[in-house]
A and B are shown apart, each in its own frame.
Chain A
Amino acid sequence: MGKEERDPHTGYLTTGHEWNGIIELNTPVPRIIYFFLGAAFLFSLVYWVLMPTWPIGTTYTKGLLGSDQRAYVDNTIKQAALERADWTAQIEKESYADIQKNPALMNVVRETGRTLFGDNCAACHGRDAHGAKGFPNLTTQSWLWGGTPEAIAETIRVGINSAHPETRSSQMLAFGKDGMLPSADIDKVVAFVRSLSNPAAKDLPADKVAAGKMLFATNCASCHGEDAKGNPEVGAPNLTDPYWIYGGDAQSIETTVWGGRQGHMPTWESRLSTLDRKILALYLVDLRKPNP
């Protein structure tokens, strides 16, 4: 310990260290720093009293304000539900047809439906609902399981080939892979199927199409119907329209007939409320209106 010395010029104490005649001043820490240190400590004292802070054994100090994040989020959600109550009650109560006739409600449906669709459906069906290969386009008139709002809401609820006990289930059999039809016959069926939606196709010889028609009647008509217009009861697609989930060119149809298809749509019953599903069904019906 050096003895305390004061610098004659500034009046500050020195540290007692000296290097070649240079003496280090023991300048005190600026007062403002002490001030902020004290202020921060005071703030933390107040915070400890008001907010949940210290862990004590199996619990924690709850604080005078009783702040709780979980209660907070539950509250804000309830608050939001209350704010929407005037139109949610109306949508819950009224029938699909009545809501569709009500322009004010349909405006709400368009707005809310777009958000719901973006958060939940857009990953597969695309933000514009036009789908992608393997994921149906929802803006057409072609619906596997029926295009009424009721049918759409039910499809959203239970899903298709999903884990839901009441799921809609369907399977296109693997006619080639499982040996039900030889390749030559598949070729003929494909020619016939292509002729249905594209009668003008030039590469389809009439005899091949005719043979394909016979094969179609015995193998495919039970699901797709005699007229190949599909059957929403079993989710069989209409083969006479220009809309294809897995592609409508010769190669894609051949792949489908050879290897079968089993699309999968998840169930949304546990994820989306009845109201949300109703809004989505209405949103989709509304989406396809401009292009009949």
Chain B
Amino acid sequence: MFGFHYRLERKTIGLVLAIIGVASIGGIVEIAPLFTIHQTVEDAPDMRVYTPLELAGRNIYIREGCYACHSQMIRTLRDEVERYGPYSLAVESKYDHPMLWGSKRTGPDLARLGNKYSDEWHVAHLNNPRDVVPESIMPAYAWLSRTELRTDDLSDHLKAQRTVGVPYTDDMIVNAAADAYGQAAPDSPQAEGVVKRYGKATAVRAFDSRPGELTEMDALVAYLQILGRLTDAAHKPVASAEK
């Protein structure tokens, strides 16, 4: 075998072909399972997409680097399941482009944060974490409340997400900016369209307690309140295990 290698080293074409062959093993092992991903990842027919406001919040989450300290991935370990809730399933990240599983926890995992705390708490906490959690080392994000949310490019964001497989309709893409406004202004005429397009379970409320203004705080809190709630697929195996 070692003699074979010695001889191979002396044949240029043979050596190049052998290098290509060996180097591609790693790639094939990672890529091949993706060809059958539709059969291997569990199904979640009830899963809904992010609304434009939630997607904008998700973009802010990425922009501010929240993923550097917060993971969104509950592992199959007893202590994690007891603290955070059912372990994460692959299907729950189906519409996450890119996924935000994270690799490090300075703060807690956020995969099941949605509806755990009130909007008021999120706003107070983002404005200054020490106001509600004295021992916190999280930075303050007070400017989110003062910064108007940019909505003119939301249609493009939806379109980009559709390109990579998120089932946004033409109707959703055209109305993205109006829907973003309506979701944070429950009494506005735009609010109806949000429920019509994204379903009754969509949270339509003034996330930052100021229905007239659409701020980045609205978007981020809307996103945080939907984490882990696009589908309840993860709760089903655990429920059956308890029985």
B152 at the interface (CB under 8 A from A): no
Q: Are A123 and B83 in contact (CB under 8 A)?
A: no
A264 at the interface (CB under 8 A from B): yes
Interface-located stretch among A96-104, A127-135, A183-191, A278-286 = A127-135
- Residues of A contacting B124 with CB < 8 Å? 132, 134
Complex Cα distance, B116 from A264, in Å, reads 11
- Residues of A contacting B117 with CB < 8 Å? 123-124, 266
Q: Which of A134, A163, A265, A270 has the most CB of B within 10 A?
A: A134
A27 at the interface (CB under 8 A from B): no
B25 at the interface (CB under 8 A from A): no
A76 at the interface (CB under 8 A from B): yes
Tell me, rounded to whole Å, the shortest Cβ–Cβ distance linking B163 to chain A: 27
Complex Cα distance, B115 from A120, in Å, reads 12
Q: Are B131 and A57 in contact (CB under 8 A)?
A: no
Contact with B along A130-145 (1 / 0, CB 8 A): 0011110000000000
Q: Are B10 and A1 in contact (CB under 8 A)?
A: yes
Interface residues of A in 252-277 (CB under 8 A from B): 263-267, 270-271
Q: Are B116 and A271 in contact (CB under 8 A)?
A: yes
Count contacts on B: residues with CB < 8 A to the other chain. Answer: 33
Q: Are B116 and A265 in contact (CB under 8 A)?
A: no
User: Which chain B residue has the least Cβ–Cβ distance from A120?
Assistant: B116
A77 at the interface (CB under 8 A from B): yes
Q: Are B83 and A77 in contact (CB under 8 A)?
A: no
- Which residues of A approach B to under 8 Å, CB–CB? 1, 28, 34, 55, 57-59, 69-70, 72-74, 76-78, 80, 119-120, 122-124, 126-127, 132-135, 163, 263-267, 270-271
A-B contacts, 16 of them at CB < 8 A, read: A57-B36, A58-B39, A69-B76, A70-B237, A73-B87, A74-B237, A77-B81, A77-B82, A120-B116, A123-B132, A124-B117, A132-B124, A265-B118, A266-B116, A270-B235, A271-B116
Considering the complex of A and B, which 8 residue pairs feature the smallest CB-CB distances, nearest first?
A264-B118, A73-B76, A69-B76, A55-B33, A58-B39, A76-B78, A74-B241, A124-B121
